[in-house]
Amino acid sequence: MEQISVFDILKIGIGPSSSHTLGPWRASQRFIASLKEDKVFDKVDRMRVRLYGSLSLTGRGHYTDLAVILGLSGADPEVIDPKDIQPTVSAINFSGRLTLNNERMILFSPLVDIVFEKEFLPFHSNGICFTAFDTDGKTLSEQTYYSIGGGFVVQENEDIQSAGHYPNAFPFPIQKAEELLKYTIDKRCTIADIVMENEKSIAPEAEVREKILHIWDVMLQSIYTGCHTLGELPGGLRVKRRAAYVYDRIKPYLMYKDHHEWAKQLRTVSTDAKSIFTWVSTFAIAVNEVNASLGRIVTAPTNGSSGVIPAVLLYYLSFVNPKATDDQIVEFLLVCGEIGSIFKKEATISAAQGGCQAEIGVSSAMAAAGLCHVMGGLPQQCLAAAEITMEHHLGLTCDPVGGLVQVPCIERNSMGAIKAITAASWAINNDPSVPVVSLDKVIKTMWETAKDMNFKYKETAQGGLAVEIPVNLPDC
């Protein structure tokens, strides 16, 4: 059984896409590690990178080429200053040279050495092949990786279902929602309790809490940045930033100097039911405008759906329970992470495999379960909230205009957040004892729907809005 930590589902990275940006970035780092392991790193003189399938078809819009360049250069998506991205890439384009892992200068011309192959490899839609050559042009190493969604990267011969990802086996192994529910019944505890016990097999509880609160801090920073940044999104679609514009219209008089003070001030805001969803939508759209701008966000469970969970959590902290403590934040995100891991194990969180139901649908289900939990819902009600949410995302296609994570992706995050809030409210006010549809059943249905979905609606930019609004995008 695959062991997935909350921190595998909620990862800090750079936008705009977990599968098309963060995944290739991590694949580049893995290839460098393999060169060192094979003791050929010091012989590399030139590199060639080939992108396949969805990575090729929407790679430029998702900045896959930039991610590869940055990964090969040794930059880390968790810590790189987003302001350094464009200057780094421009310098490599200009010089035709790249400092591999910030250690060894090699020949590398992105327009020549990053090849967009339109064919699909059999194993997964997101294939990326690295080839390293020596000074004589001899191949030193060639490795193919697959970005399978949410920043996860595997090779075809890897046993991704093995339980060896972490040194210690989880005390509560979970493959399906019914297993999670049984643990909570047997132990008379909450979903968050079970997930924390699994996390404690990896790290001490204090460290787990610290990391989760850091995750929330990055999420909050992305909302804050989006709500305070006007202008136009990059990429060629000329999409205007809207979160800051709307926030400026709805905000009361507040005084703050950073995102921490801002969040505290939001807890004092009183608003009516009519305005609540405007606030929620603004929070969600703010995050995804940062994501679309090569900004720092948290995959939740993907970059394209990164606005849903932060928006719902800030909604809870600001308008539902302003007296909430760090405990509620930690528990909210623990529940979210576990629901996301079940979707990944039993279906997919990759839009290239499952369409947008695998991204916005999953993030919305995660947020619904987390919100239901901190509002006092029973484990059965939390699972019901996740099920209700996914039930109403089934069949959602992925058709990004120009391959950019902008239209319709940004607005879909606001819709996902609102659905999550609605589902949590409905689940917590109803008897969960006899659900007509279980979460496991809806996850299975989602996976069957994904397999039946035409490939052109799976992040290829060859169907839906992507062909109704054709655009020509500039090279990196």
Listing DSSP states for 184-208 in one string gives: HHHHT--HHHHHHHHHHTTS-HHHH
Same domain, 79 and 206: no
Whether residue 137 lies inside any domain: the answer is: yes
The answer on pLDDT for 163 being more than 50 is no
- 166-219, pLDDT tens digit by residue? 888 999 999 999 999 999 999 999 999 999 999 999 999 999 999 999 999 999
Same domain, 87 and 215: no
Q: Which two tokens stand for residue 61?
A: 């819009």
Mean pLDDT for the chain overall:
94
Q: In whole angstroms, what is the distance from residue 40 CA to residue 279 CA?
A: 54
Kindly state the average pLDDT of the residues 13-31: 95
Of the three residues 154, 185, 216, the one that is the final residue of a domain is 154
pLDDT level of residue 448 (50, 70, 90 thresholds):
very high
Residues whose CB is less than 8 angstroms from the CB of residue 165 and which lie 6 or more positions away in sequence, other chains included: 2, 3, 4
- 334-349, pLDDT tens digit by residue? 999 999 999 999 999 9
Kindly state the average pLDDT of the residues 120-138: 95
Which is more confident, 296 or 461? 296
Is residue 128 within 8 Å of residue 26, measured between CB atoms? Answer: no
Kindly state the average pLDDT of the residues 33-37: 97
Same domain, 230 and 150: no
* DSSP-assigned states of every residue in 274-337: HHHHHHHHHHHHHHHHHHHTT-EEEESS-STTTTHHHHHHHHIIIII-TT--HHHHHHHHHHHH
Kindly state the average pLDDT of the residues 393-412: 94
Whether residue 210 lies inside any domain: the answer is: yes
Same domain, 149 and 205: no
Torsions phi, psi for 145 (to 5 deg): -120, 165
Residue 401, domain extent: 177-468
Longest dimension (CA), the chain: 71
The answer on pLDDT for 474 being more than 70 is no
Kindly state the average pLDDT of the residues 397-404: 91
Q: 3-class SS at 146?
A: strand
The answer on pLDDT for 162 being more than 60 is no
Kindly state the average pLDDT of the residues 277-294: 97
The answer on pLDDT for 476 being more than 50 is no
Same domain, 198 and 82: no
Same domain, 126 and 199: no
Q: CA angle 57-33-159, nearest 5°? A: 70
Whether residue 112 lies inside any domain: the answer is: yes
Q: From residue 391, give the alpha-carbon distance in Å to each of 3, 438, 456.
A: 26, 10, 22
Same domain, 274 and 421: yes
Among 261, 362, 257, 267, which Cα is nearest to 308's?
362
The answer on pLDDT for 165 being more than 90 is no
The answer on pLDDT for 473 being more than 60 is no
Same domain, 133 and 191: no
Is residue 115 within 8 Å of residue 48, measured between CB atoms? Answer: yes
Kindly state the average pLDDT of the residues 5-19: 95
Whether residue 10 lies inside any domain: the answer is: no
Whether residue 3 lies inside any domain: the answer is: no
Same domain, 326 and 435: yes
Q: In whole angstroms, what is the distance from residue 202 CA to residue 199 CA?
A: 5
Whether residue 140 lies inside any domain: the answer is: yes
Q: What percent of the chain lies above the pLDDT cut of 90?
A: 88
Q: 3-class SS at 152?
A: strand
The answer on pLDDT for 109 being more than 70 is yes
| pLDDT, position 233 | 96
Bridge partners, 98 (sequence order): 106
Is residue 305 within 8 Å of residue 416, measured between CB atoms? Answer: yes
At how many degrees (to 10) do helices 326-346 and 360-374 cross?
A: 140
| pLDDT, position 158 | 77
pLDDT level of residue 164 (50, 70, 90 thresholds):
very low
Among 302, 292, 262, 250, which Cα is nearest to 411's?
292
Q: What stretches of 347-464 show up as alpha helix (H) in DSSP?
A: 351-354, 360-374, 379-391, 409-428, 439-452
The answer on pLDDT for 436 being more than 90 is no
pLDDT level of residue 472 (50, 70, 90 thresholds):
low
Rg (CA), the chain: 22
Same domain, 219 and 142: no
Among 194, 170, 169, which Cα is nearest to 181's?
194
Q: In whole angstroms, what is the distance from residue 385 CA to residue 313 CA?
A: 15
| pLDDT, position 322 | 97
Q: How many domains does the chain have?
A: 2
What's the burial of 246, exposed, middle or buried (CB within 10 Å: 0-12/13-18/19+)?
middle
Kindly state the average pLDDT of the residues 73-87: 94
Q: Which two tokens stand for residue 400?
A: 């990004």
pLDDT level of residue 273 (50, 70, 90 thresholds):
confident
| pLDDT, position 160 | 53
Whether residue 92 lies inside any domain: the answer is: yes
The answer on pLDDT for 159 being more than 70 is no
Which element (helix H / strand E) includes 51?
Answer: strand 46-53
Same domain, 122 and 184: no
| pLDDT, position 469 | 87
Running DSSP on this structure, what letter comes out for residue 451? H
Whether residue 168 lies inside any domain: the answer is: no
Kindly state the average pLDDT of the residues 121-137: 95
pLDDT level of residue 427 (50, 70, 90 thresholds):
very high
Q: From residue 81, give the alpha-carbon distance in Å to each of 14, 84, 103, 295, 373.
A: 10, 6, 19, 9, 35
| pLDDT, position 118 | 84
| pLDDT, position 386 | 98
Same domain, 135 and 281: no
What's the burial of 454, exposed, middle or buried (CB within 10 Å: 0-12/13-18/19+)?
exposed
Q: CA angle 334-335-341, nearest 5°? A: 90
| pLDDT, position 264 | 97
CATH number at residue 25: 3.30.1330.90
